[in-house]
């Protein structure tokens, strides 16, 4: 009897050991498959399928279902890419087809002698000129956004003095800010602050941000350049404005979105979308946050640029330019 019990106990222990080993292999397969699925999800465009590291009947059915979902997602992504390419091509063709007659219209309107017209006709001519110029800007911005979002913009990333770029942008927009009667406060380091950027793209981003200030600022505007602890360079622009809801804040960088205050004007709603797309192409980021200052609503934009080389490593850097 004892011998039988011993045999049964040995069989039970063997079965338990086999089940434990099987469970361990199953857990290992699940972990490896989970890690592989995470990699596939991050790079779904690679068209990979998940596979089991060891045969496992319990997981094969589940994995087949997951792979079918992955395949469908990959097919949708390919189709979306095709549609985006078609749309981009159509936008480029439309922009080209519109720019030629618009240029001719602007030219003919410029040749018209407003002094020979009566007051009503002269006012109508001014309106046509203004609207034609606005349409010309819209077509140019639409084409620019298509180029930036399609990754076709040709950028030459190099070290730039960000403080100088901001000063020049503010100088060029001085008239706009003055006409609005804004209280302008600028905080820029006296020394150069270098970051990696494309000159034309950075100029365009700053121009669009200042254009947004000109459209929405109520009375105050601030511009600053600072360096974070990690070396990244931050360009900050902030202004008081009509309060935006949380949903409106989330849509600020959407193409054609404009806040209520400018819907009756000539804002295209493309400026911030272009600014963010160009920022991302430069390896930078552009974000907006809402602030409350003394009961007033403020809108703040932070453009974060990758740092240039330390001043000591830059060829020809003088000791004075490296001083803090």
pLDDT at 319: 44
Lowest mean pLDDT among 78-87, 121-130, 287-296: 78-87
* pLDDT for the residue numbered 230: 92
Spatial distance between the Cα atoms of 245 and 299, rounded to a whole number of angstroms:
12
Helical residues (DSSP H) of 150-289, grouped into ranges: 162-172, 174-179, 199-216, 246-250, 271-281
Q: For residue 275, which of 194, 184, 211, 220 has the smallest C-alpha distance? A: 211
Q: What is the pLDDT of residue 311?
A: 55
pLDDT at 150: 64
Residue 33 has pLDDT above 80, yes or no: no
Predicted confidence at residue 138, as pLDDT, reads: 72
What is the reported pLDDT for 100? 74
Which segment, 49-63, 81-95, 119-133, 252-266, is predicted with the most confidence on average? 119-133
Measured distance CA(141)–CA(208) in Å, rounded? 11
Sign of CA dihedral 178, 174, 197, 189: negative
DSSP state of 320: G
Residue 260, pLDDT > 60, answer no
pLDDT of residue 45: 60
Q: How many residues does the chain have?
A: 324
For residue 54, pLDDT over 60 is answered with no
Q: Which of 40-54, 75-89, 96-110, 194-208 has the highest mean pLDDT?
A: 194-208
Half-sphere exposure of 177 (CA within 13 A, CB side): 20
Question: Band of the pLDDT at 210, cuts 50, 70, 90?
Answer: very high
What number does CATH give the domain 158-314?
A: 3.30.565.10
Query: CA-CA distance, 135 to 195, in Å (whole number)?
Result: 35
> Confidence class of residue 193 from pLDDT cuts 50, 70 and 90?
very high
pLDDT tens sequence across 293-322? 988 999 999 999 999 876 545 544 544 445
87 falls in which pLDDT band (50, 70, 90)? low
Cα 56 from Cα 58, distance rounded (Å): 5
What residues contact residue 147 under an 8 Å CB cut-off, 6+ apart? Answer: 153
At 263 the pLDDT is 44
pTM for this predicted structure: 0.62
Over residues 15-21, mean pLDDT: 71
Residue 92 confidence (pLDDT) above 90: no
What are the boundaries of each domain within the chain?
2-78, 91-149, 158-314
Q: Give Cβ neighbours of residue 312 (< 8 Å, ≥ 6 apart).
A: 322
What's residue 160's pLDDT? 93
CB burial string 289-323: b at 16+ within 10 A, e below: ebeeeeeeebbebbbbbbbbeebeeeeeeeeeeee
- Mean residue pLDDT of the chain comes to 79
DSSP 292: E
Report pLDDT for 209: 94
């Amino acid at each position: 009897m004892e011998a039988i019990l011993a045999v049964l106990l040995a069989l039970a222990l063997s079965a338990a050991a086999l089940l434990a080993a099987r469970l361990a292999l199953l857990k290992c397969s699940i972990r490896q498959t989970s890690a592989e699925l995470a990699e596939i999800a991050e790079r779904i465009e690679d068209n990979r399928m998940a596979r089991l590291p060891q045969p496992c009947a319990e997981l094969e059915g589940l994995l087949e279902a997951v792979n079918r979902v992955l395949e469908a997602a990959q097919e949708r992504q390919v189709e979306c890419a095709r549609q985006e390419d078609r749309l981009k091509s159509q936008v480029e063709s439309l922009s080209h087809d519109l720019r030629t007659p618009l240029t001719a219209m602007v030219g003919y309107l410029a040749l018209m002698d407003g002094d020979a017209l009566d007051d009503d006709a002269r006012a109508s001519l001014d309106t046509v000129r203004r609207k034609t110029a606005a349409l010309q800007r819209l077509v140019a911005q639409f084409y620019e956004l298509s180029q930036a979002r399609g990754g076709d913009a040709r950028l030459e990333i190099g070290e730039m003095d960000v403080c100088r770029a901001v000063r020049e942008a503010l100088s060029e927009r001085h008239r706009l800010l003055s006409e609005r009667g804004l209280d302008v406060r600028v905080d820029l380091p006296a020394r150069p602050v270098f970051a990696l950027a494309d000159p034309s793209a950075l100029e365009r981003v700053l121009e669009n941000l200042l254009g947004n200030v000109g459209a929405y600022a109520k009375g105050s505007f601030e511009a600053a350049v600072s360096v974070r602890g990690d070396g990244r360079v931050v360009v900050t622009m902030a202004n008081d404005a009509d309060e935006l809801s949380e949903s409106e804040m989330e849509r600020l960088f959407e193409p054609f979105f404009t806040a209520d205050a400018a819907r009756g004007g000539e804002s295209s709603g493309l400026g911030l979308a272009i600014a963010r797309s160009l920022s991302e192409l430069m390896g930078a980021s552009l974000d907006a946050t809402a602030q409350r200052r003394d009961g007033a609503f403020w809108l703040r934009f932070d453009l974060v640029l990758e740092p240039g080389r330390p001043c000591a490593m830059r060829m020809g850097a003088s000791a004075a330019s490296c001083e803090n």
